């Protein structure tokens, strides 16, 4: 993989470029690349250290970290000002998964960065990390990839380019440093407590990771790279890290007593506050899993995001569609009914999509997913099916979906029929509450129009008059007393959202 200097990439047409921005707990990373002969060529990288997880032990992003994050985003916005929205993907990890003020941060970020911010799950983060490493470091055997971030540590085991085990645990370099090395004080007792704490959290999964018998172990992220530099004195050449070397590093560290005594030539000044926690995490992981050595690699989450963005924007492959299809097969949904509901939903969007701002690719994908998956709950029971469908989709692992996308999909399937609890539609950072409400109206109407599960399309067209949807019907159902009664009952449910159906 090649990389140009900081300005060379600006000389070519930005419309050809793709950009991935990783909002990590330690640093924000931007990578810009282009597709050359079917391969991604990274051409620019930019990093800002923000320590967003600072203070996260109190469950919120601190005021100082909040401001640092926004300052960094204003810098990234200048680099991305000429990019089309479909050519940029922004993902956020552990800190914005856990922080109780994440919505406030994302709302403030929207004022600076005109691209959606996807908060991804830990497993999704692990999958994308594996994908990024697999593209950069080809290997045909079984391998384990470990990524120590500021707020969490991800584990991915796979064969060649396919991940098979994905784990995310809430111990990261910055969080462990704050928890066990408050005010920078380092003692053997504190260090041993930190290592033991990580081992306790990892223990339920260590057997599974050992059983994988990885032939190659790789470490990604700035923390592991910083430890490799501390061991070798450089980031050039062999970056193998042995457990023996980590123990030696620990012994050297414990003679210092305080992190202020760490030499900035060994560890860059900005990373010193989190490096002790990072060392404790890596020692605990290696001891618990039985790793004697691993190698540090540059590729990580941002490369995985960039690769998947290229698949979507350039090659028109979206893993989210594959995820939807896989779930439909797994839960044996009625494919014919799903197609009927989708056809009606598309017809409804012809009438309301532009006015309601529902014709974006992501929203249409979620609606298509809801048409396909709203009956997955049938596998549990036909009674209260919508509740079962919502539960399954809220708790399944869905590769490619951000946390908010998955929650919206689950909500569309939870409320495709029966009572709507409007208060549950507000807590989204990636979507406006009125957008979710409108999506629910679309899926409910599409399902209602196909309640008889017949092959003919009952709907001819839909138009809007304020908050009223004017329905023009056709065929046998145009004069159906049952459908008229169903619509009257549906209006009672939709009233909590402020919408009404009217038959023309």
Report whether 276 contacts 177 (CB < 8 A).
yes
User: Could you tell me if 347 and 478 lie in one domain?
Assistant: yes
Considering the domain boundaries, does residue 132 fall inside one? Answer: no
What residue numbers bound the domain in which 292 lies? 138-298
Q: Is residue 363 scored above 60 in pLDDT?
A: yes
pLDDT value at 13 more than 90: no
User: To the nearest whole percent, how much of the chain has pLDDT over 90?
Assistant: 79
pLDDT value at residue 11: 40
Residues 114 and 142 in one domain: no
Considering the domain boundaries, does residue 126 fall inside one? no
Do residues 474 and 325 share a domain? yes
Give CA separation, 145 vs 37, 126, 460, in Å.
28, 9, 53
* Mean pLDDT across the chain: 92
Question: Do residue 282 and residue 331 come from a single domain?
Answer: no
CATH code: domain of residue 96: 3.30.420.40
Are 59 and 190 contained in the same domain?
A: no
56: confidence class by pLDDT, cuts 50, 70, 90: confident
Mean local confidence (pLDDT), 286-311: 94
**Is the pLDDT score of 406 beyond 90?**
yes
**pLDDT reported for residue 15:** 55
Last residue of a domain, one of 267, 298, 329: 298
Give kind and range of the element (H or E) at residue 476. none
The verdict on 166 and 52 lying in the same domain is: no
Query: pLDDT per residue over 410-433, tens digit each?
Result: 999 999 999 999 998 887 888 999
Q: How many domains does the chain have?
A: 3
pLDDT in tens, 188-222: 999 999 999 999 999 999 999 999 999 999 999 89
501 neighbors 490 (Cβ within 8 angstroms): yes
458 backbone dihedrals φ, ψ, rounded to 5°: -80, -25
Residue 312 lies in a domain: no
Of 246, 266, 298, the domain-final residue? 298
Angle between helices 301-313 and 122-136 (to 10 degrees): 80
pTM recorded for the entire structure? 0.88
161 and 106 in a common domain: no
- End residue of a domain, out of 73, 92, 120: 120
Go through 160-185 and write b for each residue having 16 or more CB atoms within 10 A of its CB, e for each that does not: eeebebbbbbebbbbbbbbbbbeebe
C-alpha torsion angle, residues 40, 44, 48, 52 (rounded to 10): -10
CATH of the domain at 341: 1.10.3210.10
3-class secondary-structure state, position 124: helix
CATH of the domain at 154: 3.30.420.150
Same domain, 348 and 445: yes
Co-location of 439 and 323 in the same domain: yes
- Please check whether residue 465 lies inside any domain of the structure: yes
On whether both 206 and 273 belong to a single domain, the answer is yes
- Secondary structure of 256-319 as H, E, C letters: CCEHHHCCCCCCCHHHHHHHHHHHHHHHHHHHHHCCCEEEECCCCHHHHHHHHHHHHHCCCCCH
Structural domain includes residue 163: yes
Q: Are residues 154 and 257 in the same domain?
A: yes
Helix (H) or strand (E) holding 158: strand 153-159
Q: Are residues 157 and 113 in the same domain?
A: no
């Amino acid at each position: 993989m090649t990389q140009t200097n900081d300005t060379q990439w600006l000389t070519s047409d930005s419309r050809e470029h793709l950009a991935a921005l990783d909002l990590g707990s330690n640093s924000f990373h931007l990578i810009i690349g282009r597709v050359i002969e079917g391969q991604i060529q990274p051409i620019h990288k930019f990093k800002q250290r923000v320590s967003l997880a600072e203070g996260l032990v109190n469950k919120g992003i601190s005021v100082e970290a909040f401001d640092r994050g926004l300052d960094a985003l204003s810098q990234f916005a200048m680099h991305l000002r000429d990019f089309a929205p479909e050519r940029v993907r922004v993902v956020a990890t552990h800190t914005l998964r856990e922080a109780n003020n994440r919505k406030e941060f994302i709302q403030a970020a929207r004022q600076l960065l005109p691209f959606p911010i996807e908060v991804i799950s830990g497993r999704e983060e692990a999958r994308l990390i594996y994908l990024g490493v697999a593209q950069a470091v080809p290997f045909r055997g079984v391998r384990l990839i470990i990524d120590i971030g500021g707020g969490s540590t991800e584990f991915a085991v796979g064969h060649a380019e396919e991940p098979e085990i994905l784990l995310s645990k809430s111990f990261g370099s910055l969080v462990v440093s704050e928890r066990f090395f408050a005010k920078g004080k380092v003692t053997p007792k504190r260090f041993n407590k930190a290592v033991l704490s990580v081992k306790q959290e990892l223990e339920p999964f260590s057997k599974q990771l050992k059983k994988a018998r990885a032939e190659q172990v790789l470490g990604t992220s700035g923390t592991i790279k910083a430890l490799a530099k501390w061991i070798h004195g450089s980031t050039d050449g062999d970056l193998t890290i042995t457990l023996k070397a980590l123990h030696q590093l620990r012994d050297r560290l414990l003679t210092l007593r305080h992190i202020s005594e760490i030499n900035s030539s060994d560890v860059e000044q900005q990373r010193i506050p989190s490096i002790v926690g990072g060392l404790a995490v890596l020692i605990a992981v290696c001891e618990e899993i039985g790793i004697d050595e691993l190698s540090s690699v540059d590729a990580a989450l941002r490369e995985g995001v960039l690769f998947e963005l290229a698949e979507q924007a350039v090659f028109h492959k979206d893993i989210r569609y594959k995820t939807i299809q896989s779930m439909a097969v797994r839960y044996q949904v009625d494919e014919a009914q799903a197609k009927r509901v989708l056809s009606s939903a598309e017809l409804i969007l012809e009438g309301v999509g532009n006015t309601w701002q529902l014709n974006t690719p992501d929203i249409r994908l979620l609606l298509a997913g809801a048409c396909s998956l709203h009956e997955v709950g049938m596998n549990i029971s036909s009674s209260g099916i919508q509740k079962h469908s919502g539960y399954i989709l809220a708790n399944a692992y869905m590769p490619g979906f951000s946390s908010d996308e998955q929650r919206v999909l689950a909500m569309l399937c939870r409320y495709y029929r029966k009572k709507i609890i409007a208060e549950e539609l507000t807590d989204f950072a990636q979507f406006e509450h009125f957008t979710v409400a409108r999506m629910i109206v679309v899926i409910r109407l599409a399902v209602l129009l196909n309640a008889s599960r017949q092959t003919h399309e009952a709907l001819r067209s839909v138009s809007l008059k304020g908050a009223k949807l004017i329905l023009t019907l056709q065929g046998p159902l145009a004069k159906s007393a049952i459908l008229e009664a169903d619509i009257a009952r549906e209006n009672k449910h939709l009233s909590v959202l402020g919408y009404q159906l009217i038959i023309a």
